[in-house]
């Protein structure tokens, strides 16, 4: 098979596939059931600036995050020391500081030698105690690691909500930027609720329950402001009782079983058609839950989410792997809770620093302006090519139309989210495609002027312009890749559309234009071009 036959075949295949890939973008609601099994069902998605939606900036509270990091590190150090069979008398934390007390000097020295192996600490020892100061580098790197975990969990929550066009990205070392296009006012509240919950789920046996808070505070010697006691107990308030009266429960402060052991969560219904959230546990959770329920048969276990008691059911029998959370949920609330639990709890609290809703009218204006600019630019280019290159200009215009069809086919194939900067990338690609054709046609005119035959002039023009076209496009592609890897938000959108446009332009200039020129430029046309040259 000759090279030209291969080029014709490739051009036809690319054109037909591009039409197939574009189809879901314009007719996604009426695709036949079999389409997804044969062809991709992706479509071009409109970004926040074109479609409207919500823009949220979330950040860490510096003081709270450092206290949590210090607390987590204290627990890690405690477990490390205990694993070496060393007894600890007490431990406490302040901001970025940890104190470990021991019963004797021998235990203290053994622990001191053990902890010296970690360069992230500044360690001092005296009076059977070790004083640890966490370095700023350690705090910063730990924050970044926890923030990456938060980013992944939030992405998972938004994806489970059904939003596939969202963008969740890190901004600096303490902020996360979330962009969700196409969200209406009703879903906005649900999304904000889902992404703002820490989802710290705990299961705690109820020690005592009463409607008299003062009685419990006095009996268990609780601090009335902190709701805790020196003997590791806590008091919780239950507000959604059937009788409408507030009740209070006493539990231990810590919880052996937490939401991190949940591997699945789902919505189900009881015999009265009331929705509740069921959950399944991993192997570690099953062991703890089995032991916890066995030891508390006939007693209540409080299920606490983010410090609020969701339910406190009585354990009727030992439970091994699955449980449920009830609490007079609506179906929507149960769905949201299952999404939160399935995605996992955030390793560190995060709050909304900024939130704004972008209306669809702004997106409509952006689309109108972007479309107008593309149409106007295309019209000027098409007219210029015809006026300057005459019949060869018509070939160039047809190649541009093919190029745009293939570009939108690739955008649809990869499900690219098109933003306003992305439209700018498409307009830039249009100019670059014309530039490639101009280089080719100038080379052809030079060969015709030398007196070469028509076919030989076309082949020589394409061969001699190939290296120039490849150099220009590949250097631009390298820049686009760097923008995508190092850039953020709108810069990525611009880089994606520019990269796809470059690849499509290369194929159009090198393959399709060559085929079209050989087909449409006959001897009489080239003779006219030769005379003009």
For the full predicted model, state whether its pTM sits above 0.85: no
pLDDT, one tens digit per residue, over 65-98 is 888 888 888 888 888 899 888 888 888 888 889 9
pLDDT, one tens digit per residue, over 373-391 is 778 877 888 888 888 777 7
Residue 425, domain CATH: 1.20.1640.10
Mark which of 92, 124, 140 sits at the end of a domain: 140
Question: Which pLDDT score is estimated for 531?
Answer: 43
Look at residue 16 and tell me whether its pLDDT is greater than 70: yes
Strand order in the sheet with 262-269: 262-269, 275-281, 322-325
Look at residue 175 and tell me whether its pLDDT is greater than 60: yes
The reply to whether 399 and 485 lie within a common domain is: yes
Mark which of 354, 380, 400 sits at the end of a domain: 354
Question: Which pLDDT score is estimated for 529?
Answer: 46
Percent of the chain whose predicted confidence (pLDDT) is above 70: 90
The reply to whether 209 and 344 lie within a common domain is: yes
| CA 104, chain centre distance (Å) | 51
Higher-pLDDT residue of 33, 318: 318
The DSSP output letter for 260 is G
Counting Cα atoms < 13 Å in the Cβ hemisphere of 54 gives 21
Q: How large is the average pLDDT for residues 326-336? A: 79
Higher-pLDDT residue of 1, 519: 519
* Residue 520 contacts residue 399 (beta carbons within 8 Å): no
Look at residue 273 and tell me whether its pLDDT is greater than 80: yes
The reply to whether 305 and 228 lie within a common domain is: yes
Q: 451: helix, coil or strand?
A: coil
Whose tokens are 């990456």? That residue is 148
Question: Which pLDDT score is estimated for 13?
Answer: 92
pLDDT, one tens digit per residue, over 211-262 is 888 888 888 888 766 666 556 788 888 876 666 678 889 998 878 777 778 8
The reply to whether 86 and 110 lie within a common domain is: yes
Look at residue 317 and tell me whether its pLDDT is greater than 60: yes
Domain for residue 126, yes or no? yes
The reply to whether 392 and 407 lie within a common domain is: yes
Look at residue 300 and tell me whether its pLDDT is greater than 70: yes
The reply to whether 247 and 310 lie within a common domain is: yes
The reply to whether 396 and 294 lie within a common domain is: no
Domain for residue 222, yes or no? yes
| CA 509, chain centre distance (Å) | 36
- Beta bridge partners, 279, equal 265, 323
Question: Which pLDDT score is estimated for 524?
Answer: 45
The reply to whether 450 and 511 lie within a common domain is: yes
**What is the domain range of residue 499?**
3-51+360-532
The reply to whether 91 and 29 lie within a common domain is: no
The reply to whether 508 and 450 lie within a common domain is: yes
Paired tokens of 257: 């079983």
Q: Quick one: pLDDT band at residue 150, thresholds 50, 70, 90?
A: confident
Question: Which pLDDT score is estimated for 478?
Answer: 92
Spatial CA neighbour of 43 closest among 345, 414, 519: 414
Residue 218, domain CATH: 3.30.1360.200
Q: Which residues contact 286 (CB under 8 A, 6 or more apart)?
A: 320, 321
Domain for residue 188, yes or no? no
The reply to whether 348 and 209 lie within a common domain is: yes
**Number of domains, the chain:** 3
Look at residue 523 and tell me whether its pLDDT is greater than 50: no
The reply to whether 206 and 330 lie within a common domain is: yes
Domain for residue 86, yes or no? yes
């Amino acid at each position: 098979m000759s090279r030209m036959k291969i080029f014709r075949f490739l051009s036809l295949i690319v054109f037909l596939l591009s039409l197939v890939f574009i189809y879901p973008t314009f007719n996604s609601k009426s695709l036949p059931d079999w389409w997804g099994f044969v062809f991709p069902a992706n479509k071009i998605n409109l970004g926040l600036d074109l479609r409207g939606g919500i823009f949220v900036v979330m950040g860490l509270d510096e003081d709270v995050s450092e206290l949590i990091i210090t607390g987590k590190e204290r627990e890690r150090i405690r477990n490390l020391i205990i694993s070496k069979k060393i007894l600890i008398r007490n431990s406490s934390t302040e901001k970025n500081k940890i104190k470990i007390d021991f019963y004797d000097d021998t235990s203290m020295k053994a622990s001191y030698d053990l902890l010296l192996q970690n360069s992230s600490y500044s360690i001092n020892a005296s009076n059977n105690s070790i004083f640890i100061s966490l370095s700023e580098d350690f705090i910063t790197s730990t924050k970044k690691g926890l923030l990456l975990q938060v980013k992944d969990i939030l992405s998972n929550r938004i994806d489970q909500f059904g939003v596939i066009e969202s963008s969740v990205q890190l901004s600096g070392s303490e902020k996360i930027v979330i962009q969700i296009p196409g969200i209406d006012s009703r879903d906005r509240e649900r999304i904000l609720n889902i992404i703002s919950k820490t989802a710290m789920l705990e299961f705690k046996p109820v020690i005592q329950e009463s409607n008299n808070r003062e009685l419990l505070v006095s009996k268990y010697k609780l601090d009335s402001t902190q709701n805790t006691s020196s003997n590791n107990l806590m008091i919780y308030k239950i507000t959604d009782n059937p009788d409408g009266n507030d009740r209070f429960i006493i539990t231990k402060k810590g919880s052996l079983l937490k939401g991190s052991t949940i591997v699945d969560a789902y919505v189900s219904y009881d015999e009265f058609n009331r929705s509740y959230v069921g959950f399944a546990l991993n192997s570690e959770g099953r062991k703890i839950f089995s032991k916890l329920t066995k030891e508390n048969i006939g007693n209540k276990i409080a299920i606490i989410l983010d410090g609020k008691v969701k339910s406190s059911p009585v354990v009727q029998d030992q439970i091994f792997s699955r449980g449920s959370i009830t609490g007079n949920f609506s179906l929507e609330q149960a769905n949201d809770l299952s999404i939160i639990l399935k995605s996992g709890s955030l390793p560190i609290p995060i709050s909304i620093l900024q939130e704004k809703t972008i209306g669809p009218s702004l997106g409509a204006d952006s689309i109108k302006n972007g479309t107008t600019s593309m149409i106007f630019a295309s019209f000027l280019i098409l007219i210029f090519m015809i006026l300057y290159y005459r019949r060869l200009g018509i070939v160039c215009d047809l190649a541009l139309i093919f190029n745009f069809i293939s570009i939108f086919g690739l955008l649809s194939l990869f499900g690219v989210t098109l933003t306003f900067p992305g439209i700018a990338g498409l307009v830039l690609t249009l100019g670059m495609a014309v530039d490639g054709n101009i280089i080719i046609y100038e080379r052809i005119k030079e060969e015709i002027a030398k007196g070469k035959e028509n076919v030989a002039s076309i082949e020589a023009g394409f061969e001699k312009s190939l290296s120039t076209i490849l150099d220009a496009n590949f250097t631009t592609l390298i820049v686009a890749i760097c923008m995508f890897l190092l850039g953020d938000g709108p810069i990525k959108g611009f880089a994606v559309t520019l990269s796809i446009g470059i690849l499509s332009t290369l194929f159009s200039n090198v393959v399709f234009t060559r085929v079209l020129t050989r087909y449409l430029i006959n001897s009489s046309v080239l003779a006219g071009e030769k005379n003009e040259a």
